[in-house]
Amino acid sequence: MQIEVGKKYRINEKHIENDGSCYGINGDRMKELFPGNIVEVLGIFGPTVDIADGYWLPPRILLPLEEVTEGTKRQKDIRLLKESEKKWAGIVYDGKRDGGAVDCPCCNEYNTGDGESGDCPIGGGCMKIGYGDWCNYTYDKVYTVFDSWSEELALNVLSSIGDIRRRLEKEEQDNKEKDSLECYEYVVNGKPTGIRVGEYLRLEIGNVESGDVIPCSTLITLDSPYSGHRGRGCVGTPTGFASDWPDVLMEHFKRNDDGSIKVCVY
């Protein structure tokens, strides 16, 4: 991969230590300067790249930024929510302290530093999951579980995060099922056609007369994965369009033994 000055890259997670540090940059500075482990290359000096504030990294640990789509963001959010659940399970069951945004996986990914985190899957400053009630009640106890009510509040936060994660997982599963119906795009001679299996295709055949023979490769019918006659495809003839039903198509065309199509009726 060629590194270019002015472009942003993601640091390979294999080179991020458990405390968030990387190549001499401590975890706190990484979160402050490079949220999400995203760096911008400011210069290239021999075997290293200059990133910011005098820090440098070897280019071999940098990865290209993936194009963010609805699907890739959803997958990332599911991972972040699972990490958040792990954090709150530790608070509920192991007596760990809530560090707020500092140890929140979602905040570390989406908080821009000005209190805004609009892309966060939880959103709303975590108020919708009962976090405000938890903070208000446990403030004097340094945000830890200390009685039955604080435990219930923490469990509510944990459960609410789980609900959001399960909803996204369902969306992800539904999207995979939809994609499995659409299949892949047809490619002819190595070039994309823009036609996917399941789409409706109208093929117009012109300048032919009764008795002409059309090679089998000319007439294409795409069978849709959806039920019903509309998935049969539609063929256009010089006198109009044959409808979707196979018996109507047979009135206009006859398939020869070699697979070619003979125009029968006009």
Same domain? 75 vs 146: yes
Domain termination site, one of 156, 182, 208: 182
Q: pLDDT by residue for the chain (266 residues), tens digit each? A: 678 888 888 898 888 998 889 998 999 999 999 988 899 999 888 788 999 888 999 988 888 876 556 677 888 899 999 999 999 999 999 999 999 988 999 988 887 555 556 689 998 888 899 999 999 999 999 999 999 999 999 999 999 999 999 999 999 888 776 655 444 454 555 565 555 544 444 444 555 555 665 554 444 443 333 333 333 334 443 333 443 434 444 444 555 665 555 555 43
User: Per the domain annotation, does 199 fall within a domain?
Assistant: yes
Q: Is residue 147 part of a domain?
A: yes
Is the domain of 31 the same as that of 108? Answer: no
From 154, 182, 210, the end of a domain falls on 182
28 in the same domain as 14: yes
123 and 226 together in one domain: no
Does residue 163 share a domain with residue 201? no
Does 196 lie in the same domain as 178?
no
1 lies in a domain?
no
Q: Do 149 and 57 share a structural domain?
A: no
| pTM across the whole model | 0.47
| Parent domain of 131 | 70-182
Instruction: Classify residue 150: in a domain, yes or no.
Output: yes
pLDDT of residue 189: 54
Is there a domain that residue 22 lies in?
yes
Domain co-membership, 97 together with 159: yes
Task: Please state, in angstroms and rounded to a whole number, the distance separating the CA atoms of residues 181 and 14.
Answer: 36
54: in domain: yes
Q: Is residue 230 part of a domain?
A: yes
Choose the final residue of a domain: 182, 207, 235: 182
Considering the domain architecture, whether residues 121 and 24 belong to the same structural domain is answered as no
Q: Within this chain, do residues 42 and 106 fall inside the same structural domain, yes or no?
A: no
Residue 3 resides in a domain: no
Look at the chain and report how many structural domains it folds into. 3
Q: What is the per-residue pLDDT for 236?
A: 40
The answer on 207 and 147 residing in a single domain is: no
CB 49 within 8 A of CB 43: yes
Shared domain check, 145 and 81 = yes
